Amino acid sequence: MQRSRKGGLFFLSTSNVASVIFWCLLLVKFVAADDDGSSSSSFAKTEGTHFVLNGKPFNFVGFNAYWFIYSASDPSSAAQVTTAFQQASKYGMKVARTWAFKDGGPGALQVKPGSYNEQVFKGLDFVIAEAKKYGVYLILSLVNNYPDLGGRRQYVEWAKEEGQTTLASDDDFYTNTLIKGFYKNHVKTILNRVNTLTGVAYKEDPTIFSWELMNEPHCESDLSGTTFQNWAKEMATHVKSIDRNHMLEIGLEGFYGPSSKQLNPNGYIFGTDFITNNQIPDIDFTTIHVYADQWLHDLSDEEQVSFSKEWVNSHIHCLSGAVDDRQHQGPSPPPLKKPLVLAEFGKSSRLDKWYSPTKRDALFEALYDILDASASKGGPFVGALFWQLLLDSPGMDGLRDGYEVVLAQSPSTANIIAHQSTKLSNYQAHLQPSL
């Protein structure tokens, strides 16, 4: 679901001279570093329902920080990215999910189709270089479902500006040939980008854990799921035609299609299908998001936590068994046999007037307990990323959306994260990858 993700963008405000000096110093720093070491085994891969990295099983806790590219694009705020990775490393977080897009508008990465702001692109270069420095891997999302930061709507507007006057909705993003060409070109540009700080092409950089087709895709003009399925297959093929090194996932929240809509909160259906979409051969692993405080806001805290656990467990069953026959209409699909990442979860301080950090901690512990149980037995649920990491830093108040976790202000939550990371590391030492 869409949350209030206020831009809070760090617009480019420094002088050209300061910018040149900043990037030149960084270039010297990273050129002097070790080579990228991008052997085939250094890229994260899947083996059955597991991730494997450098020949060993890889489970993780991590975080979302969509703001990285915008903070990094301004020399006056780039240090915030470094601090975030430092904190993540300190508390054992190994994977971060962030945006590789900002389409149109002030501070854009893609100013118009095929035209990019180089300083913002250098910001993304910096994010990747700093992630490598602190041992954090990145999931990079390629476009937004929502109008925030451009999204599908900006692509539709660009097509209208080029004479496509019959476009009726944002869902034309999935079917219009010109728009699909815009997106494919963006994918090609991102994947082929050579990092100005490391000299390594993105498609050859093991720091990138995976690509994501879209953040939380919906296609409500075709609830059967056919339109989105066709688009996802086409774009997955396109990504893999350029980059076979990296894994690819869709960006799904986990909503089921018409045959299993009873499993969705409030019977939501958005034209996507966790089962069918993830059967696409070029999709390497599955994702879900969970926001019970939005989807089921009338329920008690305990009921919301209970639903969150059920949501995760139902998807685990899809991967290792099958959808509950009592809920599924028609023949049960075969198990997907792919890893599962809980790519967004959190508890908002704005949606609960009696909110306290202990309520958030209860949710984190409940979901980490499921991750713990899966990891300890070699199960398919292998990673969890909370929304979102922020810093106790000037200039970040505009990024607060109620879900923010500021580690310096939340010692109990920070300790829960660190403890779960330690447990996962201990399991990995004893597990062997298996199909």
Return the CA Rg of the chain.
Answer: 21
Query: For the chain, what is the mean pLDDT?
Result: 90
Residue 394 is predicted with a pLDDT of 84
Q: H-helix or E-strand containing 228?
A: helix 226-242
Per residue in 206-236, pLDDT tens?
Answer: 999 999 999 999 999 999 999 999 999 999 9
> How does strand 389-390 pair with strand 381-386?
unpaired
* pLDDT over 70 (residue 37): no
Among 191, 201, 156, which residue's Cα sits nearest to residue 174?
156
Peptide bond into 388 cis (omega under 30): yes
Torsion of CA 98, 103, 108, 110, to 10 degrees: 100
In whole angstroms, give the CA distance from residue 305 to residue 291.
10
344 a catalytic residue: yes
Q: Taking the model in full, what pTM does it have? A: 0.90
Residue 1 is predicted with a pLDDT of 52
Residue 13 is predicted with a pLDDT of 41
Beta bridge partners, 212, equal: 141, 249
The pair of structure tokens assigned to 61 is 């806790």
Per residue in 279-311, pLDDT tens?
Answer: 999 999 999 999 999 999 999 999 999 999 999
Residue 321 is predicted with a pLDDT of 67
> How does strand 110-112 pair with strand 115-116?
antiparallel
In whole angstroms, give the CA distance from residue 339 to residue 12.
39
Least confident interval from 202-206, 315-319, 331-335, 351-355: 331-335
> How does residue 334 score in pLDDT terms, banded at 50, 70 and 90?
confident
Among 209, 219, 289, 213, which residue's Cα sits nearest to residue 250?
213
Per residue in 360-369, pLDDT tens?
Answer: 999 999 999 9
Average confidence (pLDDT) over 161-170 = 96
Among 332, 265, 251, which residue's Cα sits nearest to residue 294?
265
Place of tokens 């709507």: 153
Tell me the helix, strand and coil percentages in the chain, rounded to 5: 45, 15, 45
* pLDDT over 60 (residue 6): no
Sequence-separated (6 or more) residues with CB below 8 Å from residue 349: 355, 360, 402, 403
Q: Detail the DSSP E strand segments found in 41-199.
A: 45-47, 50-53, 56-57, 60-64, 95-99, 110-112, 115-116, 137-141
* pLDDT over 60 (residue 99): yes
- Active-site annotation holder among 130, 249, 253, 344: 344
Looking at residue 210, the DSSP 8-state letter turns out to be E
- Active-site annotation holder among 130, 212, 216, 253: 216
Per residue in 251-287, pLDDT tens?
Answer: 999 999 998 899 999 999 999 999 999 999 999 999 9
> How does residue 428 score in pLDDT terms, banded at 50, 70 and 90?
confident
Sequence-separated (6 or more) residues with CB below 8 Å from residue 357: 410, 412, 413
Least confident interval from 36-45, 87-96, 261-270, 402-411: 36-45
Percent of the chain with pLDDT over 70: 86
Residue 63 is predicted with a pLDDT of 99
